[in-house]
Amino acid sequence: MRVPVPDELLPAERLGRVHFVGIGGAGLSAIARLMLARGVAVSGSDGVDSPTLERLRDLGARVHVGHDAAHLRGPEHAVDTLVVSTAVREDNPEYLEAVAQGLRVLPRSAALSAVMAGRRVLAVAGTHGKTTTTSLLTVALQAAGADPTYAVGGELAQTGTNAEEGSSDLFVAEADESDGAFLVYEPYAAIVTNVEADHLDNWGTEEAYRAAFDTFADRVDPDGFLVCVVDDEGAAALAARAAGAGRQVVTVGESPEADVRAVDLVFDGTTSAFTVLDGGTELGRVTLQIPGRHYVLDALAALAVGLRLGLAFDRLRAGLEGFAGTRRRMERKGEAAGVRVYDSYAHHPVEIAGDLQAARAVAGEGRVVVAFQPHLVSRTRIFGSAMGEALGAADEVVVLPVHLAREEADPAVTSALVADAVPLERGRVVEAPDLAGAARELADRARPGDLVLTLGAGSVTEVGPMVLDLLGSGG
């Protein structure tokens, strides 16, 4: 459901008592945590209980399992503002009750803007890599003593949470383009990791999607700056247009033309090392504890922001080198019977290719065995063949049914669109009917020394623990 952004964006302290529909989600739970930290009365509901809900209860939120209009009725449940995500349907009883009561109803973007008010916002946008880059920027700034407030689309391993109130005026935020949320913010500085067609169910055309990033760049403070990873063609074109419009642009990448460069890259198992050049001056070498070229570029963009804020390279480097990852971004789930199991959120062809490249480096002499769950009917319809082609970098592939999320099923859009495009011979690609079937296929195919990787933005994350159980029990 799309809720319009109000003409006047109020700070969190003026929203009164706030109720979140879908409070367990990554986006809304982060905003709720920050409001609680500022003394705002918070309540909410979600479809199922979870550790996230329990942690919010511990912080003082009143949280319900299940959606019911009664959660907004009576003196003990009185609410001034309702916050909803795009996943909430128009027939949601709490939304209907809020409308009937004439309450203020906000989309996620407006609620995030409310907790950003009065801060210097550092926004991270891009088709891929937003969560990792936002997390890297956060830990780098923390190590440099900047102590930012942050809101990330995943849990930081260092803190175990997706949001935290800091003591400085800096606010690091993941800026989501999927539903146009990033066009609500007015950042002091911004990162654009890459610009490739995605979320066309919302934007309609690739041209409209790319144009949205131009609008986002125009919203950056004239006294601030825009960081673009120019190894990506879309981000490079954006950088050129923004610079032509008079914006201060910092370019980063391996490209010789980049202002801040990564050179002499070395990938060794789960580490990625590179030397940093800033305007031709060598600053030093950085060794990340995460594998893959795309993560080097994410770290370089985060580093460029810290440097342009005037922070010391050595302290920023310490933060980057201590980064332990975020949940569902090449996250190690465990090892059993000599098989290592990882999980990742990758669901776009470019993301799949990047994580498979990283997985290959980690696997060493072992094989890479993958389970992939296509996410959204609309995305699979457009990118199904490209997803399959990217999966060809694995040795064995298991494809799950399409994860519907907020869309209805389409009999013409199935996992076969992906599986049939995987360029591997018969027998090395199989379709599984469900999560349990995928886990069995992976356990049967994996051999000691192999790396099993589960990929996708949906419920496929549940498969890794199943595989470990099967391997640990001897199958």
CA angle 438, 442, 444 (to 5 degrees): 115
Q: Which runs of consecutive H residues, i.e. helices, occur in 193-333?
A: 200-203, 206-218, 233-244, 293-308, 313-321
The two three-digit tokens of residue 246, written as one number? 């008079």
pLDDT(266) > 80? yes
Q: What is the pLDDT of residue 393?
A: 92
Strand partners, 83: 20, 106
Q: What is the pLDDT of residue 467?
A: 95
Between helix 206-218 and helix 233-244 the angle, nearest 10°, is 40
Q: What is the pLDDT of residue 328?
A: 65
pLDDT(172) > 60? yes
CA–CA separation, 396 and 447 (whole Å): 11
Q: Is the distance from CB of 19 to CB of 63 less than 8 angstroms? A: no
CA–CA separation, 234 and 273 (whole Å): 25
At 144, the pLDDT band (50, 70, 90 cuts) reads very high
pLDDT(347) > 90? no
Sign of CA dihedral 345, 306, 186, 162: positive
Would you please indicate which residues are annotated as catalytic (active-site) residues?
A: 130-131, 174
Sign of CA dihedral 186, 190, 191, 197: positive
Mean pLDDT, residues 334-353:
88
Which amino acid, residue 141?
A: L
Cβ neighbours, 10 Å, residue 392: 17
The two three-digit tokens of residue 450, written as one number? 């192999």
Q: What's the Cα-to-Cα distance from 331 to each of 49, 172, 439, rounded to whole Å?
A: 23, 22, 17
Cβ neighbours, 10 Å, residue 410: 13
Q: What is the pLDDT of residue 274?
A: 97
Average per-residue pLDDT for the chain = 91
Q: Which runs of consecutive H residues, i.e. helices, occur in 108-147?
A: 108-116, 130-143
The two three-digit tokens of residue 186, written as one number? 């007015």
Q: What's the pLDDT tens digit per position in 362-371?
A: 888 899 999 9
Length reported for the chain: 475
**Sole residue written with tokens 């911004």:** 190
Which amino acid, residue 125?
A: A
Q: What's the Cα-to-Cα distance from 463 to each of 86, 342, 429, rounded to whole Å?
A: 26, 10, 17
**Sole residue written with tokens 């009664």:** 70
423, 457, 459: which is closest to 438 by C-alpha? 459
Q: What is the pLDDT of residue 1?
A: 77
pLDDT(60) > 90? yes
Which of residues 90 and 347 earns the better pLDDT score? 90
CA–CA separation, 453 and 345 (whole Å): 10
Q: Which runs of consecutive H residues, i.e. helices, occur in 106-205?
A: 108-116, 130-143, 200-203
Q: What is the pLDDT of residue 113?
A: 95
Which amino acid, residue 316?
A: L
* Element housing 250 (H / E): strand 249-253
In 3-state terms, what secondary structure has residue 298? helix
Q: What is the pLDDT of residue 242?
A: 96
Burial class (CB in 10 A: 0-12, 13-18, 19+), 77: middle
At 200, the pLDDT band (50, 70, 90 cuts) reads low
Q: What's the pLDDT tens digit per position in 62-75?
A: 999 999 999 999 88
- Give the lowest-confidence range in 23-27, 38-42, 325-329: 325-329
In 3-state terms, what secondary structure has residue 283? strand
Q: Is the distance from CB of 465 to CB of 344 less than 8 angstroms? A: no
Give the CA diameter of the chain.
Answer: 65
Instruction: List domains and CATH numbers for the chain.
Output: 12-106 (3.40.50.720), 118-321 (3.40.1190.10), 331-472 (3.90.190.20)
Between helix 293-308 and helix 349-363 the angle, nearest 10°, is 110
Q: What's the Cα-to-Cα distance from 84 to each of 17, 31, 87, 361, rounded to whole Å?
A: 14, 12, 8, 41
In 3-state terms, what secondary structure has residue 70? helix
In 3-state terms, what secondary structure has residue 322? coil
The two three-digit tokens of residue 257, written as one number? 């033309």
At 395, the pLDDT band (50, 70, 90 cuts) reads very high
